[in-house]
Amino acid sequence: MDAAAERDAPVSRLERSNHTAFIDKNTLYVWGGYQVVAGEDVMLPGDEIWLCDLDSGTWQRREITGDIPPDLSGFCGSHVNDTLYIFGGCDPTGYSNEMFSVDLTEQCYTWKKVTGTKGTTPSPRNKHTCWVHRDRLIYFGGYGCKTIGEVQNTSSSSFILEEMSWTTIGNTLFRCWGWNNEVNVFDIHTLTWSMPETKGPAPSPRVCHASAVLGNKGYICGGVEAAELDMFCLDLETWMWTQL
């Protein structure tokens, strides 16, 4: 099957990795990611979302117009108040720290790029996770790039440097690549970014960890760069870390 036919095949399009999926009422939503075609990773387009009726098992493809995100993998998708938010990830051109949203109650789905935010936007990253708590998107960890200045202003325990490279991004030439254990909070009502000061024994920087929220507590387990299969809990009110 050639690439064009593969992209048009409705069943094969459901096969993917590094996507986001969530359930709302009796519907499963699936967006983004990539699939392997003829041994090559092919990013799946951002102008569609797949819906599965969990009662009938029927799949439906819905088009999304508007400010369509680049074809991403390793992004973080979060569902809150009937809206899907996408933050970060990696596309064929590099890492992203952009955010997009789509209201899933509208008759016609439309992507909107989230602009006009306040506070400091987190650096570009992928393979991070998110806790949704009281209309806040609380992101943890990930792998990405920072400037020399950002690294100098970051605790050595909060960013594990893997490599440095000469890469032109905007007016910045020198970039540092590595893992982080940052907690970044986005308020969906005020469009404000903040980085709370956490307390207690923080987990080491990592990616690809499991993440879950229960009540006022956010949990993470494992991940890449973690020395062992550890588990931590963050109180999302007091910002106190506890190792379990």
SS3 annotation, the chain: CCHHHHHHCCCHHHCCECCEEEEECCEEEEECCEEEECCEEEECCCCEEEEEECCCCEEEEEEEEECCCCCCECCEEEEECCEEEEECCEECCEECCCEEEEECCCCCEEEEECCCCECCCCCCEECCEEEEECCEEEEECCEEEEEHHHHHCCCCCCEEEEEEEEEEECCEEEEEEEEECCEEEEECCCCEEECCCCECCCCCCCECCEEEEECCEEEEECCECCCCCCEEEEECCCCEEEEC
* Per-residue confidence (pLDDT) for residue 94, from 0 to 100: 82
- Structure confidence by residue, pLDDT tens digits, 103-147: 999 999 999 999 999 999 999 999 999 999 999 999 999 988 777
pLDDT band at residue 58, thresholds of 50, 70 and 90? very high
How far is 218 from 22, CA to CA, in rounded Å? Answer: 18
Query: For residue 38, what pLDDT band results from cuts at 50, 70 and 90?
Result: confident
Residue 54 pLDDT > 80: yes
Structural domains of the chain ordered from first start: 1-115 (2.120.10.80), 117-244 (2.120.10.80)
Give the pLDDT band (50/70/90) at residue 5. Answer: very low
Dihedral (CA of 45, 26, 140, 65) sign: positive
